[in-house]
Structure 1
Amino acid sequence: MKQNTTENLTSLNLILATFVLAYGTDAIAAKTLQIHMAKDVSSCEVIDINNYQRAVGNCTASNGAVIVWRSDDIGSVILPSLEQGQDCKVLGIGIDGTISGNCKEKNGLEFGTIWKPPYTVATKLEPLRSILQDQKNPDDVSSQAVAYNNSGFVVGQSLDKNGRATASMWTSIDAKNPMTVSTPRDNCQAVAINDQMAPDVPRVALNCSDDAGQGIARIAYRDLSGFIAVKVNAPPTYTSCQIRAVSNAGRYVGGCVSANKKTMATYWDWSNPEPHVLDLHNFTSSVVGVAVNNIGNIALDYRDLGGTPNPGYWHPQDIAINIVTAPKGQTYGRIKRISDNNVLLLRKENDGQKVVGDVVGSEPPEFTMVGGGEFGGVTAISPNGEFMAEIKY
């Protein structure tokens, strides 16, 4: 008989802990790179850094356009756009050096974009053509890059003139001929991709919806006939599931909505079709798994009963969870990434709640949190957790 696991406060080794703010970055063994930008740009931010200390980010140019830059041990360089003077925004950089993002053309249409060494041109990720032809709408007209992996694969959507989306995958070798990941124009959204290359190419997380608007989460993999999207199970009494992240070990995390309309973090393992749901109804108004590292540990975003957002850490294999509670009147911020050595990078908060300090330390030492603070500059951490980056003018 299939068995679902619903984990709640009576069955968890739950640690409710208040963490104190530490000043500086000595709490973790990571090298922090300080990125220096030219004086004629503003509003710069590091978006990503890879395991080879190569960082990428966005700035605003003197003409008001958003531009993409990359930085290494030699210095920082502005990357070309698809159209000069039009906005580009970066998603990140893979270990292979492929940079992915999105750029606009003069007509206002946006396209997924990649930059490859030596980074002298921006390459458009072309939308689907011909294979979707029909008399009323022969071709798709734009594309959107959403997620990337470390081998030059990018997933996102190909969009027709009416905005109908088809989940698609591009490679750094062939940006002109995307692979169809979902049923044409079913409006499924590709949201995450892992690095697994064999036997079935990288796995892609899809968020779809049924006719009633309920969320349906799927994992797509490829065989000789193309991509096959498999629906993941919702826990009993839960509906409307979404996946937020995938790992190389075949583990997926997101959230499902309970019968009393609260979203609870949900974890799936490819080897076991039954999900684990983290039932924290008595302590939170919602909790969503937003990132999973390659050893299967999960970073959470949750809101307490008063609505304040804060992070958490979940290790489903031994049913251990750490809920991080900020001091009264403060918030630590939401999760941006969890590295493979269990460092949780926090996003900057924009809700006006004051946070003092720039690094959040942790006890017990299963994980460490960085960023998120009022004065913190660190906005990127490498997948292996060895490097962080911040802007310095």
Structure 2
Amino acid sequence: MRLMYRYTLAALMLTNASMANAAMFVDYVHVAGAQCIGTSINDSGQAVGNCLLPSASANNVPWVATAPGGSLQPLAALVSGQPCRVGGITNSGWIVGDCSDASNIEFSVIWSTSNPGTTPTKLNPLPRTLLFPLLRPADVQTHAITLSQQGAVLAQSISASGNQTVVLYIPGSGTPIRISTFGDNCAGIDVNSTLIYGYPSLLMNCLGTNAKPVPTVATRGVSGYNLNVLPVPTDASYCLAAGMNDQSQIVGTCVFPDSDDHVPQTAFWATPSSLPKLLTLPLNAKNQGIAINNAGHILARRGDSTGIPQNLFWGDPKDSFGIRPIVPLPGSITTKAVDFAHNDTIVLTCENSAQYTTACTWTPDEGTQALAPINGGLKSQLTSISPTGKFVVGGTTDTAQNINAAAATLF
């Protein structure tokens, strides 16, 4: 599943779309606040997001809606009067976000769509240890990275000194399962939805010699998780992992010593034990892997002679001939990928010929299409697409320049 917390209400910018998709925005009923935006949506059309109340001092209000255009139902706080924010929702109805406790210490939490008004489950940090390691104090905070469609949460457990450990929470549980070594500062990247001995596989970037990244996969064995370092080309300085699909295919980027001549390249690992296939582009253009879907197709980014990055769709990672650029709207030169569905639909932030941004989608068949603003507004943004590509969510403005959470059905 996608990473969370990439978008805020302040990120919306003026837009003036030059073309329109057949899909149309539908705004939600404002019960949770005056300024609202959606952050995630599942294949049932259930969405989550955050609202700001018409107050200079009130807390953010996280919400869930059961269908596009439905009423926003506020999610309960961990502690009454303390702030929360929501990031993601799964097809199984689990919701993840962050809340502050009574001491204003932030912890990740989970809610359920079946009981959105119930106090969320706190994702507890790692407890203290007595022997292994000796007298290690308990960690003090947690931060969710992403979650599987079953609701397993990949997170960081954070110590009082700021050192982090990758942990996993099974669906509905607030008890951490330690994945990486205590305080090793590995960074959780992705979790898939294929279960091995009842548990998903995880992707991390750990630290090696001289703090160089070491991409690592954690796979469940009979008695616990086994960590395996991804193979790296012999001439690479290092590789970074960016995403993993349900077949445990992995995308990332490999970096080489002479980067002017041997540029960074998108890397595709067909299995966690195979050497990566590298993406070679004309003009020796540098490129980076961003995401991979369950079809094994890749979203990447390349350098351009203008100095402006361009997103790419890599439909067949076995060779470099199927590369397709994500073409901007007419009269524009930029797009930015936001999210990537399993049916190859890409959610974009576009820029038109007047240099305003607007919500867009891209597909291999239809190319780049803009979603027209609604309610007389001129601002729009997409933040998420459901896994199958059926629904998108984000926000638009109205004639009064209020930000309205909005969704669209693509098929």
TM tier relative to shorter chain: 0.7 to 0.9
1:55 maps to 47
In structure 2, the CA distance between the partners of 1:222 and 1:361, relative to structure 1 (3 Å rule), is closer
2:147 maps to 148
Q: Is the 8 A contact 1:153 1:169 kept in 2?
A: yes
2:314 is aligned with 1:338: no
From 61, 66, 79, the counterpart of 1:67: 61
Q: Is the 8 A contact 1:301 1:309 kept in 2?
A: yes
Task: State the distance in 1 between where 2:362 and 2:163 align.
Answer: 45
Task: State the distance in 2 between where 1:330 and 1:123 align.
Answer: 45
TM-superposed deviation, 1:198? 2.8
TM-superposed deviation, 1:272? 5.4
In structure 2, the CA distance between the partners of 1:40 and 1:59, relative to structure 1 (3 Å rule), is closer
Comparing 99-108 with 51-60, greater Cα deviation is found at: 99-108
TM-superposed deviation, 1:33? 4.5
Q: Is the 8 A contact 1:361 1:368 kept in 2?
A: yes
Comparing 68-77 with 80-89, greater Cα deviation is found at: 80-89
1:10 maps to none
**Unpaired runs of 5+ in structure 1?**
1-20
Alignment of 1:114-153 (within 5 A): 114-116=110-112, 117-119=114-116, 120-131=118-129, 137-153=136-152
1:268 maps to 269
Q: Is the 8 A contact 1:33 1:388 kept in 2?
A: no
1:382 maps to 386
Task: State the distance in 2 between where 1:94 and 1:234 align.
Answer: 33
TM-superposed deviation, 1:356? 5.9
Between the two proteins, the alignment pairs up a number of residues equal to: 362
Letter in 1 for 2:169: W
TM-superposed deviation, 1:194? 0.4
Task: State the distance in 2 between where 1:325 and 1:236 align.
Answer: 35
Letter in 2 for 1:324: I
Letter in 2 for 1:382: S
Per-residue CA distance 1:213-255 (angstroms, 9 max, x = gap): 2111001011123111110012232222221111001211111
Task: State the distance in 1 between where 2:217 and 2:66 align.
Answer: 35
Letter in 2 for 1:332: T
Task: State the distance in 1 between where 2:372 and 2:252 align.
Answer: 22
Comparing 291-300 with 383-392, greater Cα deviation is found at: 383-392
Alignment partner of 2:211: what SS? coil
Task: State the distance in 1 between where 2:130 and 2:281 align.
Answer: 44
TM-score (norm 1): 0.82
TM-superposed deviation, 1:41? 2.9
TM-score (norm 2): 0.79
Alignment partner of 1:304: what SS? coil
Task: State the distance in 2 between where 1:304 and 1:372 align.
Answer: 29
1:160 maps to 159
1:210 maps to 208
TM-superposed deviation, 1:309? 2.8
Per-residue CA distance 1:300-327 (angstroms, 9 max, x = gap): 1334244323311112145411123547
Task: State the distance in 2 between where 1:288 and 1:368 align.
Answer: 21
From 97, 103, 107, the counterpart of 1:101: 97
Q: Is the 8 A contact 1:146 1:155 kept in 2?
A: yes
Q: Which has the higher strand share?
A: 1
Per-residue CA distance 1:31-70 (angstroms, 9 max, x = gap): 754323248432x221111010100112223335333111
TM-superposed deviation, 1:366? 8.1
Comparing 339-348 with 31-40, greater Cα deviation is found at: 31-40
Task: State the distance in 1 between where 2:201 and 2:355 align.
Answer: 39
RMSD of aligned C-alpha atoms?
A: 2.9
Per-residue CA distance 1:330-364 (angstroms, 9 max, x = gap): 3111x222111110012478xxx9246543556x6
1:279 maps to 280
Q: Is the 8 A contact 1:157 1:165 kept in 2?
A: yes
Task: State the distance in 2 between where 1:229 and 1:371 align.
Answer: 43
TM-superposed deviation, 1:199? 4.0
Task: State the distance in 2 between where 1:249 and 1:31 align.
Answer: 33
Alignment partner of 1:112: what SS? strand
Alignment partner of 1:354: what SS? coil
From 89, 92, 96, the counterpart of 2:88: 92
In structure 2, the CA distance between the partners of 1:348 and 1:84, relative to structure 1 (3 Å rule), is farther
Task: State the distance in 2 between where 1:307 and 1:105 align.
Answer: 45
Task: State the distance in 2 between where 1:387 and 1:96 align.
Answer: 16
Q: Is the 8 A contact 2:350 2:358 kept in 1?
A: no
In structure 2, the CA distance between the partners of 1:354 and 1:228, relative to structure 1 (3 Å rule), is same
2:231 maps to 233
In structure 2, the CA distance between the partners of 1:299 and 1:172, relative to structure 1 (3 Å rule), is same
Task: State the distance in 1 between where 2:369 and 2:289 align.
Answer: 16
Alignment of 1:236-385 (within 5 A): 236-261=234-259, 262-270=263-271, 273-280=274-281, 282=283, 284=285, 286-315=286-315, 316-317=317-318, 319=320, 320-326=322-328, 330-333=333-336, 335-347=337-349, 354-355=355-356, 358-359=359-360, 365=365, 375-385=379-389
In structure 2, the CA distance between the partners of 1:40 and 1:238, relative to structure 1 (3 Å rule), is same
1:37 maps to 30
Task: State the distance in 2 between where 1:166 and 1:254 align.
Answer: 21
Task: State the distance in 2 between where 1:240 and 1:271 align.
Answer: 16
Task: State the distance in 1 between where 2:31 and 2:275 align.
Answer: 52
In structure 2, the CA distance between the partners of 1:81 and 1:355, relative to structure 1 (3 Å rule), is same
